[in-house]
Copies of this chain bind each other. A is one copy, B any other.
Amino acid sequence: MIRVGIVGATGYGSRELLRLLAMHPGAEVCAVTSESAAGRPLCEVLPALRGLYDIQCEVFHSNLVAERCDVVFVGVPSAKSMPFVVPLREKGVRVVDIGPDFRLSDPAIFEKYYGERHAAPELLEEAVYGLVPMNRAAIEKTNLVAVPGCYPISAILPLLPILKAAKPETPVVIDSISGITGAGRTPNDTYHFPEMNENVRAYSVATHRHTPEIEQALGANTMVQFTPHVAPYSRGILSTITVRPTKKFDVAACYDMYKDEPYIRILGENRLPEVKYVRDSNFCDIGWVNDARTGNLVLISAIDNLIGGTAGMAIQSMNLMFGLDERTALSRPGMAP
């Protein structure tokens, strides 16, 4: 039984980890820390979990957590993971960080986009970018996984297999639409229910922090124009990626590399993913249209941002790190309707 800790238990990513782990036959949650909820029973803080957990939230102490846990998921805001990850790694605890602190290999780019100096650059070499289909072997062997951002997962999985064949003009245009859980759990004017209901907005145009993460994964020559949007629903990302290939190529053949991936579903040409078919699941659905008139290729992908885009991908990494079937606790169908 893997002994699991969760740091930052009340964020949306961590809640989802707790939800999935409640049904994981090979893992047990042994420590849950939260600044704001320390001292309270987890199920009072997160009433959906009542009857399924009997554990208290506590203040983080690296010694105590290290004693009780084999692996710790860290789910805190950007630039806040490092103070937790460093002592845990020093004590030999494996870490799966669902925040951005260990995703970018170049600390200068981290500083540019996140506005803070990287506090643990020495760990960046150990950290594996936890995009399972790309880095499965490395994940199996590492002690520190940086789970990718939700938008990057939805963009990299469809784009990476076709880049070499397509040699697209750049920047590639990525317009993504996300549910509002992507904006986190902290109440604010923008996402107060009556302000966001019946609304759609673009944000962080030209400046979104996931931009360098996408470009790092795609390789130095593929610049992207990434524009995120939010629409009035809770979960899921649909990414529309407009590619202008400079060569003819066979799209379906490129995706053959995914044929054994348990959670990538290639729908094929002219078959388009929708958020509802992946919600509450770990799947990434991918489809595309070749526009003969314009010469463009339009890729569409869909994920649940909290599972396939965060917690599911994180648990898949954990399963690999501990030698379990990577699908454990993850083969749940989407919730439709």
Contacts and interface: CB of A to CB of B under 8 A. Distances in A.
Interface of A: 12, 15, 18-19, 22-23, 46-52, 171, 173, 175, 177, 179-181, 185-189, 191-203, 205-206, 223, 225, 227, 229, 231-236, 238, 240, 242, 262-263, 265, 272, 274-281, 283, 285, 289-294, 296, 298, 300, 302, 331-337
A171 B298 contact: no
Contact of A206 (B177, B206, B291): B291
A316 B122 CA distance: 52
B175 A240 contact: yes
A337 B276 contact: no
A206 B335 contact: no
B205 A283 contact: no
A175 to B, nearest CB: 4
Nearest to A194: B337
Contacts of A203: 272
Contacts of A51: 262-263, 265, 283
A283 B43 CA distance: 14
A281 B13 CA distance: 19
B332 A23 contact: yes
Given A186-B192, A198-B234, A227-B240, 8 more contacts: A12-B194, A23-B333, A48-B279, A50-B277, A52-B331, A201-B238, A227-B242, A232-B232
Given A177-B231, A225-B294, A194 B200 contact: no
A296 B205 CA distance: 11
Given A181-B337, A280-B280, A198 B236 contact: yes
Given A240-B229, A298-B225, A197 B175 contact: no
A314 to B, nearest CB: 17
27 contacts: A12-B194, A22-B331, A22-B333, A23-B332, A46-B336, A47-B277, A48-B278, A48-B333, A177-B200, A177-B231, A180-B193, A185-B192, A187-B192, A188-B192, A193-B193, A193-B196, A198-B236, A199-B276, A200-B231, A200-B238, A200-B275, A201-B272, A205-B272, A225-B296, A227-B240, A234-B337, A280-B335
A42 B94 CA distance: 41
Contact of A294 (B12, B15, B171, B291): B171
Residue from A49, A195, A223, A283 whose CB has the most chain B CB atoms within 10 Å: A195
B198 A235 contact: yes
A275 B331 contact: no
Contacts of A200: 177, 231, 233, 236, 238, 274-275, 302
Contacts of A278: 48
Given A175-B175, A202-B272, A276-B199, A335 B187 contact: no
Contacts of A231: 177, 200, 231-233
A214 B30 CA distance: 43
Contacts of A229: 177, 238, 240
